Amino acid sequence: QVQLVESGGRLVQAGGSLRLSCAASGGTFSSYVMGWFRQAPGKEREFVSAITWSGDNRHYSDSVKGRFTISRDNAKNTVYLQMNSLRNEDTAVYYCVAGGGGFVSESESEYDYWGQGTQVTVSS
């Protein structure tokens, strides 16, 4: 059983930057595809980004492409989401996910493990 714990969420001004971290335990971290989803108030949860175990393949939603960067450190069992040029619409709870399928996917069903989420609030 893999446990995922997110951190780094906070209140930030529009245009600012933030880095989220997700620490994994209880499994073979390097074998999992890792990713991030988010859910804004009153909206459905949506895919943000994902990265393969090697880091060679990274995928982003159109809404964050060019502003967010996903990375991972397999030695530390941690995945990161660097968020730049933040906008009000980035306000959401951000969830870390892990999947054993071996490929990046935007589908929630491909991810077996989910963290509890961390709140990111972007103010004008």
d(CA 45, CA 52): 21
The pLDDT of residue 102 is 86
Which residue, 96, 123, 117, 88, is CA-closest to 9? Answer: 117
pLDDT higher than 90, residue 101: no
21-58 pLDDT tens trace: 999 999 888 889 999 999 999 999 999 999 999 999 99
Check: CB of residue 32 under 8 Å from CB of residue 53.
Answer: yes
Confidence category of residue 8, pLDDT binned at 50, 70, 90: very high
What proportion of the chain, given as a percentage, has pLDDT over 90? 90
The pLDDT of residue 46 is 98
